[in-house]
Amino acid sequence: MLSVRKILQSASLLFASSSLAAAAPLLTGVYNAASWVPAGLPNSSIAEGSIFTLIGTGMGPGDLVKVSSYPLPTSQGLAGTSIQVTVAGVTNACIMVYTFATQVAAILPSSTPVGAGTLTLTYQGAQGSIPITVVKNSLGIFAVNEEGSGPGVITNLSYQVQVPTNAAHPGDNLVLWGTGLGPVTGDETEPPVPVDLGTGVQIFVGGQPANVLYGGRGSSPGLDQINFTVPGGLNGCYVSVVAQVNGVVSNFTTIPIAAPGQTYCSDGSAGLSAANLAKLQNGGTINVARLDMDNIAGNNASAIFEQWSYLDLISSHGLPGGPSVGSCTAYDVPSGNGIVVLDPFPIPGLNAGSPVTVTGPNGTKTLPQAKTGTYLAQLSAFGATPFLTPGTYTFNNGGGGTDIGPITASVTYPQPLTWTNEASTRSISVSHPLTVTWSGGNAGDYVTIIGITGLASIKQDTEFFCNAQASAGTFTIPSQVLALIPPAGLDSELNPGIDFFVGLITTANVTASNLDYGFLFANNTLVTVLSIVP
């Protein structure tokens, strides 16, 4: 899927250009322009008055054409592209935003009836169509990575996006940018009048409700802004932010929050240092090493060496592969990829030598190099005698490589925690919070709670990640997270349910010449399948 870059600037959406050859219209997907949630998932419907995106082929010219003046075009189309929506026998012309051979964006008129219908795109006289489900409210939050996940397009009142080097603080008033808050009255081809829509939209930051000050259109048709106050007691570079309006939960994004008086955020010992953040902010790069061991679907290990830029920093899901401790986040990913956190921008790999090995109480295993800077291996198959047992493990890369020198990396693979309320959580409701309790772990350890379920009809998985301090002994997964689980979802055994993981993670430093940041994560995980009840 081609992603046309969306950048918030002076509270307006601008779109970059590219080029491909035109073709006959073939429409393959319709998405909220902010969240990019695939059709069929609980929050995938398109709201009245929202910006939506079509993907396919032959839908527009080979060079992107965007609107440049008001009023925005409707039935007359844009560069030969026009779109009509038909629901309940009512047909309206959609309001064009941009057009391109493989991606087109438009605004769904607020007068469109709610229900199942059809979008029909016409380009140079040829037509293509695709089903659409229209609802009154379904908010999507714009994300920096343009894919609807990771850091959100959330700004201060001067329209500067909050980033780890310019973090928000508890008590700050911020603006969340999205689309799909709900219908408006008036001419949607002209700049909107700022009016609170009275939808009762809720914002949750790090699982805490925020005080919402305004929820209505921003400076452009279809573009929504929600002004809110950051709740107290939050800190971290990847604190979760999610919205809910009339029972429909948005996509999850994150925001950096720093302690009062600090500019840079911090995720504790496993986060980037202030020196690393400053280096990136000033246009430099940092060399990063992330080493992992886990017992999910067998025993696995990886060693990834990358060179990060400022763009990687502000768009990443987080260096440890998830949200800040105390937060949850959720993703939609293609089925069959396992537990993944996808950052869509390619990050250059670093040569750390070969081979990379891991040595522990049960011997030594080699991690073959999958590509420059990435070393992966299954240490033992699922159901086989495990390679990973509690004890000390050491990673080694011999004499190092041309980019990274010999590493020093050793960690104690932990005893599994005791999941103290496992018996009472075997069945879950997607409309209620879920509390998990445990015992075990040492100071500095944290617990990761992961859920995965797939929608077989669209070959799509919904995954959520929650991180908590091991010492807390308990964590409650918010209902907003569970609401994104498709009730008819399938676990890996093709039964209705959700694959559920509760892992104890121990971390250790990785050091080497020419390495700015390095951490080793050892994850001993308990795995079960939870059934879903109404």
Span 39-84, pLDDT tens digits: 989 999 999 999 999 999 999 999 999 999 999 999 999 999 999 9
Higher-pLDDT residue of 525 and 460 is 525
Instruction: Give yes or no: residues 355 and 231 share one domain.
Output: no
| Lowest mean per-residue pLDDT among 19-23, 88-92, 364-368, 515-519 | 19-23
Could you tell me the pLDDT band of residue 239, with boundaries at 50, 70 and 90?
Answer: very high
Mean pLDDT, residues 304-332: 86
Question: Domain with 150 in it: what CATH number?
Answer: 2.60.40
pLDDT at position 214 is 98
218 domain residue, yes or no:
yes
Q: Which two tokens stand for residue 210?
A: 């925020």
Instruction: Give yes or no: residues 51 and 124 share one domain.
Output: yes
Given 237, 257, 277, which residue is the final one in a domain? Answer: 257
Least Cα distance to 438 among 475, 479, 407 occurs for 475
Rounded Cα distance, 93 and 112, in Å: 10
Question: Domain with 121 in it: what CATH number?
Answer: 2.60.40.10
Rounded Cα distance, 132 and 44, in Å: 10
Residue 307 reports pLDDT greater than 50: yes
Rounded Cα distance, 201 and 422, in Å: 34
Total count of residues recorded for the chain: 534
Q: Is 34 exposed, middle or buried (0-12, 13-18, 19+ CB in 10 A)?
A: buried
Instruction: Give yes or no: residues 310 and 429 share one domain.
Output: yes
Residues linked to residue 300 through DSSP beta bridges, in sequence order: 294, 378
| Lowest mean per-residue pLDDT among 12-16, 211-215, 316-320, 348-352 | 12-16
Residue 511 reports pLDDT greater than 50: yes
> Mean pLDDT score of the chain, rounded to an integer?
90
Given 88, 105, 135, which residue is the final one in a domain? Answer: 135
Q: In what order do the strands lie in the sheet with 81-87?
A: 46-47, 126-135, 115-123, 81-87, 90-93
pLDDT at position 472 is 96
265 domain residue, yes or no:
no
Q: 3-state class of 480 per DSSP?
A: helix
Span 135-169, pLDDT tens digits: 999 999 999 988 899 999 999 999 999 999 999 99
273 domain residue, yes or no:
no
pLDDT at position 7 is 29
Instruction: Give yes or no: residues 309 and 238 share one domain.
Output: no
Instruction: Give yes or no: residues 373 and 231 share one domain.
Output: no
Instruction: Give yes or no: residues 69 and 202 share one domain.
Output: no
Span 10-26, pLDDT tens digits: 333 333 333 344 458 99
Mean pLDDT, residues 96-106: 97
Rounded Cα distance, 181 and 262, in Å: 33
Instruction: Give yes or no: residues 131 and 15 share one domain.
Output: yes
Instruction: Give yes or no: residues 302 and 419 share one domain.
Output: yes
Q: 3-state class of 14 per DSSP?
A: strand
Could you tell me the pLDDT band of residue 272, with boundaries at 50, 70 and 90?
Answer: confident
Mean pLDDT, residues 385-403: 95
Mean pLDDT, residues 343-350: 78
Instruction: Give yes or no: residues 396 and 518 share one domain.
Output: yes
521 domain residue, yes or no:
yes
Q: Supply the pTM of this predicted model.
A: 0.92
- Chain mean position to CA 328: 11
Residue range(s) defining the domain that contains residue 222: 141-257
Instruction: Give yes or no: residues 106 and 152 share one domain.
Output: no
1 domain residue, yes or no:
no
Given 119, 135, 151, which residue is the final one in a domain? Answer: 135
Residue 268 reports pLDDT greater than 90: no
Least Cα distance to 110 among 97, 92, 96 occurs for 92
Span 399-424, pLDDT tens digits: 999 999 999 999 999 999 999 999 88
Instruction: Give yes or no: residues 298 and 363 share one domain.
Output: yes
336 domain residue, yes or no:
yes
Rounded Cα distance, 176 and 157, in Å: 10
Residues linked to residue 31 through DSSP beta bridges, in sequence order: 53
Instruction: Give yes or no: residues 88 and 154 share one domain.
Output: no
Number of domains observed in the structure of the chain:
3
201 domain residue, yes or no:
yes
263 domain residue, yes or no:
no
